[in-house]
């Protein structure tokens, strides 16, 4: 056969091959809700390479005809669902049902920029700061940003230490969750600010009500949630941002930058870092000597997020070195009286960026890994392990080589394992059950040359909770929950014999003495606490712009180690603090009402509340003690009943 004849045969066979390609296949099936298998009407199915589409009917049925055999990328869109991509292989007539997360788009939506929203709980008024609002506070602190929300204020210790206050409560009564991790950073001190880089958060929420039980039963004030950005895993993209701030008071500024990469296979990677530097701050008439700050933070996040399962790992580092106003460092009562009577600080020096004693230095490491899995027709199961290491140094004004030696050196290590299951197979009812275990060790370095304020201790926690939300009518929602926690604190502490007898411990706690050293006693207090927390409430909504809410919550808080064991000079507070082994858990009964009205361009919120706390733990001055440094005030912890009444409007 010549080449000419072969060419003619090929030309004849090519049309025949084309006729052999079957393009009369049909893809059909149903579009269903992942939770309860109810049909989803109005879903659009689109094959971009063929530019063909179909629409699901009232029963969720769809049909795409005249398809050739092969593999196609099918895009499914629904008004109340996140758009998903599926790979479909066509070989003859093919039937395939697709499951969509009907509520996913609603849950992921950022609804407001500062204001009240109903996102995580129904009966408790939730407030939220979104990323647009946080940009304004990029060079400030968490406490400064939260001041923008109604019912939230701040406790400022000096120029740069800011602690959030919710409905008059702070410290251990306000829980801070950073990307799902409950912060463990010695929050018991009034001058211990949260060890958090605000630039690492995409939104901040204040949560009360049934949803707060998931994070802890001791949130008497509330829960502060720092939330990460929702990564758009459906797109192969690279994006980021950089924020620069100049701050005149302190003659410095801050820089924050982040970069996110999402890959085609739905893996993602995010890196973030920030740095802040200020020198001495100024008043109108003089320099506030030794009020500078150096702050830095770095975080790395990576994982994979699909509809059915996901994994998320995060590592972060935070460091802050905070100078304390030199003139505020009170060595004794005479210094205090002289400072009060003086119109200006006794120590005024030229401006400098140097951070001198007295000062604090805090380092916080955080690592976590979290996984979730969705079960068809049931709900979502999650499990998380997190690790934290918090190191705190407090430097006093000391002589010679001791000036470089920290007077307080504490290291707190925490391991937490938690898991929960959220059942949402019913459109009207959502239930959640969770379990948490935590182990913690505190090590106060004895090499400081100063009596340790907080002793060595080991703390174990176990918690279990259940909560539910139910829509009883189109305009009415109710929610409720209950939580049980068990805590054990196993401490090893030296007491001065004179202090032991002065506090009356020799009569009540003689069984915990393990060694008598004459002037000192070595003790091993092991304390067990059982607490119950509960909440219930209701919400009425009208026309999606008027809301009435009622919530009752019962909270019990275990005393923190400072309230139990403090025994000595707290250098950054310049006072002697005394804990009490007799202190028991405090119990809060809180009632709150709220009215919210939303208009097109503005809104109104009114929230009265009453909080009755039995055995409220407080620190108060009790006298003066003479030391080698002179006379110092003595502050002691005690318990009483308290009543907090308030009204928030915005």
Better-predicted residue by pLDDT, 120 or 649: 649
- 165-192: per-residue pLDDT in tens? 888 898 899 999 999 999 998 888 878 8
Structure tokens at 399: 């002589």
Better-predicted residue by pLDDT, 199 or 80: 199
The pLDDT value given to residue 344: 84
Q: Tokens 């971009």 appear where?
A: 48
The pLDDT value given to residue 81: 76
Q: How far apart are CA 98 and CA 76, in angstroms?
A: 9
The answer to whether the beta carbons of residues 574 and 357 sit under 8 Å apart is no
pLDDT of 159 > 80? The answer is no
Q: Mean pLDDT, to the nearest integer, of 198-219?
A: 83
Structure tokens at 6: 């072969």
Q: Mean pLDDT, to the nearest integer, of 411-432?
A: 93
- The CA-CA-CA angle for residues 637, 640, 645, to 5°, reads 115
pLDDT of 499 > 70? The answer is yes
φ and ψ at residue 533, rounded to 5 degrees: -130, 145
Q: How far apart are CA 293 and CA 320, in angstroms?
A: 7
The answer to whether the beta carbons of residues 445 and 453 sit under 8 Å apart is no
pLDDT of 194 > 50? The answer is yes
pLDDT of 16 > 60? The answer is no
CA distances (Å), origin 308, targets 132, 382, 534: 31, 12, 32
The pLDDT value given to residue 105: 40
The pLDDT value given to residue 124: 63
Better-predicted residue by pLDDT, 89 or 1: 89
Proportion of the chain above pLDDT 90, given as a percent? 51
List the single range of 83-87, 481-485, 525-529 with lowest mean pLDDT: 83-87
The pLDDT value given to residue 136: 86
List the single range of 95-109, 356-370, 466-480, 613-627 with lowest mean pLDDT: 95-109
The pLDDT value given to residue 5: 55
Q: How far apart are CA 326 and CA 356, in angstroms?
A: 8
User: 410: pLDDT confidence band, cut at 50, 70 and 90?
Assistant: very high
pLDDT of 59 > 90? The answer is no
Proportion of the chain above pLDDT 70, given as a percent? 90
Better-predicted residue by pLDDT, 418 or 208: 418
Q: Which CATH class is domain 223-296+312-649?
A: mainly beta
The pLDDT value given to residue 498: 92
**How do 546-557 and 526-542 pair as beta strands?**
antiparallel
List the single range of 199-213, 307-321, 349-363 with lowest mean pLDDT: 199-213
Q: Tokens 């009034």 appear where?
A: 190
List the single range of 400-414, 567-581, 609-623 with lowest mean pLDDT: 567-581
Nearest Cα neighbor of 194 from 220, 207, 176 is 176
List the single range of 38-42, 119-123, 477-481 with lowest mean pLDDT: 119-123
The pLDDT value given to residue 104: 47
pLDDT of 569 > 90? The answer is no
The pLDDT value given to residue 363: 97
The pLDDT value given to residue 477: 93
Q: How far apart are CA 127 and CA 327, in angstroms?
A: 38
The pLDDT value given to residue 308: 85
φ and ψ at residue 454, rounded to 5 degrees: -115, 135
Better-predicted residue by pLDDT, 300 or 236: 300
User: 51: pLDDT confidence band, cut at 50, 70 and 90?
Assistant: confident
CA dihedral 324, 327, 329, 333 (to 10 degrees): -160
The pLDDT value given to residue 110: 29
Side-chain-side CA neighbours of residue 563 (13 Å): 24
User: 489: pLDDT confidence band, cut at 50, 70 and 90?
Assistant: very high
User: 630: pLDDT confidence band, cut at 50, 70 and 90?
Assistant: low
* 6 three-class SS: helix
pLDDT of 210 > 70? The answer is no
φ and ψ at residue 297, rounded to 5 degrees: -155, 145
The pLDDT value given to residue 151: 80
**In the chain, where the domains are located:** 20-104, 106-222, 223-296+312-649
Q: Give me the chain's average pLDDT, please.
A: 86
Better-predicted residue by pLDDT, 531 or 42: 531
CA distances (Å), origin 328, targets 297, 574, 643: 28, 9, 32
pLDDT of 305 > 70? The answer is yes
Radius of gyration in angstroms for the set of CA atoms belonging to the chain, rounded to a whole number: 30
The pLDDT value given to residue 108: 35
CA dihedral 597, 600, 602, 604 (to 10 degrees): 0
Write down the CATH number for the domain with range 20-104. 2.60.40.1120
List the single range of 77-86, 182-191, 436-445 with lowest mean pLDDT: 77-86
* 504 three-class SS: coil
User: 234: pLDDT confidence band, cut at 50, 70 and 90?
Assistant: low
* Element (DSSP H or E) covering residue 333: helix 333-341
DSSP sequence for 8-76: HHHHHHHHHHHHHS---EEEEEEEEETTT--B-TT-EEEETTTTEEEE--TTSEEEEEEEPSEEEEEEE
Superfamily of domain 106-222: TonB-dependent receptor, plug domain (2.170.130.10)
């Amino acid at each position: 056969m010549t080449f000419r004849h072969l060419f003619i045969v090929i030309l004849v066979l090519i049309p025949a091959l084309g006729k052999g390609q079957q393009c009369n296949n049909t893809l059909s099936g149903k579009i269903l809700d992942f939770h309860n298998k109810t049909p989803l009407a109005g879903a659009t199915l689109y094959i971009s390479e063929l530019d063909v589409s179909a629409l699901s009917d009232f029963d969720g049925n769809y049909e795409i005809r005249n398809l050739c055999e092969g593999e196609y990328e099918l895009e499914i869109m629904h008004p109340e669902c996140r758009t998903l991509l599926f790979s479909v292989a066509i070989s003859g007539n093919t039937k395939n049902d697709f499951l969509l997360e009907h509520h996913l788009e609603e849950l992921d939506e950022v609804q407001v920029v500062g204001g009240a929203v109903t996102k995580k709980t129904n009966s408790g008024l939730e407030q939220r700061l979104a990323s647009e609002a946080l940009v304004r506070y990029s060079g400030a602190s968490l406490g400064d940003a939260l001041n923008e929300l109604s019912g939230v204020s701040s406790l400022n210790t000096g120029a740069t230490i800011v602690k959030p206050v919710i409905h008059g409560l702070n410290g251990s009564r306000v829980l801070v969750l950073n990307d799902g991790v409950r912060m463990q950073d010695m929050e018991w001190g009034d001058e211990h600010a949260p060890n958090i880089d605000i630039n690492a958060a995409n939104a901040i929420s204040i949560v009360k009500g049934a949803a707060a039980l998931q994070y802890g039963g001791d949130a008497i004030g509330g829960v502060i949630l720092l939330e990460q950005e929702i990564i758009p895993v459906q797109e192969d993209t690279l994006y980021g941002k950089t924020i620069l701030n100049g701050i005149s008071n302190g003659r410095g500024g801050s820089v924050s930058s982040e970069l996110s990469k999402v890959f085609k296979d739905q893996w993602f990677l995010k890196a973030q870092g920030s740095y802040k530097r200020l020198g001495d701050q100024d008043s109108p008439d003089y320099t506030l000597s030794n009020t500078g700050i150096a702050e830095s933070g770095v975080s790395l996040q990576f994982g994979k997020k699909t509809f059915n399962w996901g994994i998320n790992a995060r590592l972060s580092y935070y460091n802050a070195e905070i100078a304390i106003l030199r003139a505020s460092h009170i060595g004794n009562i005479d210094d205090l009286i002289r400072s009060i009577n003086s119109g200006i600080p006794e120590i005024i020096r030229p401006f400098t960026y140097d951070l001198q004693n007295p000062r604090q230095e805090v380092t916080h490491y955080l690592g976590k890994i979290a996984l979730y899995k969705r079960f068809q027709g049931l709900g979502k199961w999650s499990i998380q392990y997190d690790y934290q290491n918090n190191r705190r140094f407090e430097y006093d004004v000391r002589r010679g080589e001791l000036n470089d030696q920290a007077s307080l050196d504490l290291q707190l290590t925490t391991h937490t394992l938690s898991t929960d299951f959220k059942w949402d197979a019913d459109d009207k009812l959502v239930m959640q059950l969770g379990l948490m275990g935590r182990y913690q060790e505190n090590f106060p370095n004895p090499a400081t040359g100063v009596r340790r304020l907080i002793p060595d201790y080991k703390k174990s926690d176990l918690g279990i909770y259940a909560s539910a939300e139910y829509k009883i009518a189109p305009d009415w929602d109710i929610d409720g929950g209950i939580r049980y926690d068990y805590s054990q604190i196993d401490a090893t502490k030296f007491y001065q014999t004179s202090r032991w007898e002065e506090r009356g411990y020799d009569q009540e706690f003689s069984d915990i003495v393990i060694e008598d050293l004459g002037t000192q006693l070595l003790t091993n207090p092991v304390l067990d606490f059982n607490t119950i927390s509960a909440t219930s409430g209701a919400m009425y909504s009208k026309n999606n712009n008027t809301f009435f809410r009622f919530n009752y919550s019962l909270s019990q808080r275990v005393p923190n180690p400072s309230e139990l064991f403090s025994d000595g000079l707290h250098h950054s507070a310049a006072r002697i603090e005394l804990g009490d082994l007799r202190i028991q858990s405090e119990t809060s009964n809180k009632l709150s009402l709220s009215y919210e009205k939303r208009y097109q361009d503005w809104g109104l919120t009114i929230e009265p509340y009453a909080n009755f706390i039995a055995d409220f733990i407080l620190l108060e001055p009790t006298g003066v003690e003479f030391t080698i440094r002179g006379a110092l005030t003595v502050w002691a912890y005690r318990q009483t009943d308290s009543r907090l009444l308030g009204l928030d409007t915005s």
